Every structure is written in C-alpha cells, then in structure tokens.
Structure 1
Amino acid sequence: MRIEAERGDITQQHVDAVVNAANSTLLGGGGVDGAIHRRGGREILEACEQLRAGDYPDGLPVGAAVATTAGRLPARWVIHTVGPVYSPSEDRSHALASCHSAALRVAEELGARSVAFPAISTGVYGYPAEEAAGIAARTVRTADSAVETVRFVLFDEHTRALFAAEIGQG
C-alpha cells in the first residue's frame, strides 16, 4: 500500500473514497464534516438520513464506519467515521485506530483502491495532531487491506509535516 500526506482540501480529492470525520448524528457539522456535506450536496445528507432511519437510529458509534454516496464530490463514496473526543486522563487511542481500520474495511468492501483521510479527531474533538498522526500511520501501515493508496489530506502545513514524518515521507 502506498501511503502519502499532502496539504489540501479533502473535498477536492479524486479518489475512490473520502473519509469523513463525522459526528455520531451523521447529519453534518463543522470542520471536515461540514465541508463534505456542503460540497457533496443534498445526496449525502439524504443517504445519512436513511442510515439514521435504518441501521443507526441512535447514531454511528465511535470507531465505526459506514459508506454513502459522495454526491457532487469527485470521489465515488464517502466513508463516515466518528472519532473519539480527546481525554488527557483516558487512553482513547484504540478508538482512533478503529476509525482508520474500520474505514479501510469499508473501503475494501466497496472495492475502493484509493482512499483519502483527514486528521480524524484533531479539530473540535481536541486530539493532539502529533499523537493522531502516529496512531493513523501505524494503523494504516499495518492494515491487511487491498486498498492500494491511502492519502492523508491535511488542512495546514504543520499537520502535513507531522503525518509525513510518521509515514516516512520526509
């Protein structure tokens, strides 16, 4: 698997699947979640509403992942995953790792060969980017997956550099 990190806008990625750092409601929000819903359009929200009406009436659990259409995004699918809220007194690294491994499993089930990830939980959920980068890189690197390319798409240069260092991109 090729793993890369770049600075950019995840809503503009030409990949098979874009991972959304969603909230448990699946109905949009701020940050990456809001950007994906705004740019992808009503089709994503409607698909999420169907998930809430069906398999996820109480919302998507932390660490789980589920796919919808990508609407107007250049990707084919959006894989929604809910990251953990950071806690300095409780180790939640397993939940963050689960977001990445669950998203890769869903991508593989879809037949996706290329996947773009944001820095899950590093925004309003407060996970330190340094820790998140290490967890994400280790989880993706050790995943048994048919996905060929994982691209971490980061909002700023500092975060890109952290992820690049963790994946050995320099």
Structure 2
Amino acid sequence: FIALFMAGIAGFRIDSPDYENYYLYFNMLSKGIDYRQINIVAPDPAFALLNICLSRLSTNPLILFLFFGITSVLINAFCFKKYVKYFMISMLFYLVHTYVARELMQIRAGLACALCLFSLRYIVNKCPWRFLITIILASSFHLGAVVFLIA
C-alpha cells in the first residue's frame, strides 16, 4: 500500500524544479520534433522514445509522470521486499533519502537508479549479460547509469 501511495504522489505532482522542462519536452516530442534538436533535457534515446509512445496514448503529459512514478517506485519496492529483511524500514529510508529527489524531480535518474538496483539480482545470480542489458537500458534513460558497470 505504501508503494502505491508514493507512486501516486510521484505521478500526480505538478510542481517541481524539473516539471516544466519535462512538460515542454513531452509536448514538443508529441508534435514530432526530433529529440536531438530539443535542448531542454539530455537527449537520452529511451526517454525520448518513451515520451513519443506515451504521447500517442494521451496528449496529457500527466501520463509521463504517472508512468515514471509508478514504474520507479514499484521497482524499488519490489527489490526492497525481495532482498531486505525489514521492508518498511527500507521504504522509510527510501522516502526520506532519495524518493523526493529522484521520483519527484529527476524522474529519468529515478528510473535509471531503480533499474540499476534491479540489475543487482543478475550479479548475484551470475547472469552477466542480463546485468549488462539492464544497465544499458538504464543508461538509455540517464547516462549516469553507465557508472554502475563497475559493479
């Protein structure tokens, strides 16, 4: 329940330092402007593609924020539930430490970090190719995820 509540807040919030940039980016891409020509946010290809796909479902940018909020929070909650002994304490640390910055403002970084956290299972299970693919996917949302290859 706590994860769904947090995902809802992340998806429905309309005021954060980066909100306006993501809003404008979504609207420009939905009008067919090439993502490489838009200098509002970093030109990460998966983020641009996702914006374009979501804009086909709805012209309201809220769909973008809902997608990122729900996906990022639920991936994090899944990982905490699966790998951490005290789930609620983990969610509390997540809420006070990273949730506000990642899921409410830096949504690309939030999803990339959630995917990086998810990828740890592939290191534990000795599946290097799945780990690499997951990190490449995370990096296509936010280039900073490349650093996780050191893991």
- Please state which structure has a larger fraction of its residues in helix: 2
TM-score, normalised relative to structure 2: 0.31
Greater C-alpha Rg: 2
For normalisation by structure 1, the TM-score amounts to 0.29
- Relative contact order, higher structure (CA 8 A, sep 6+): 1
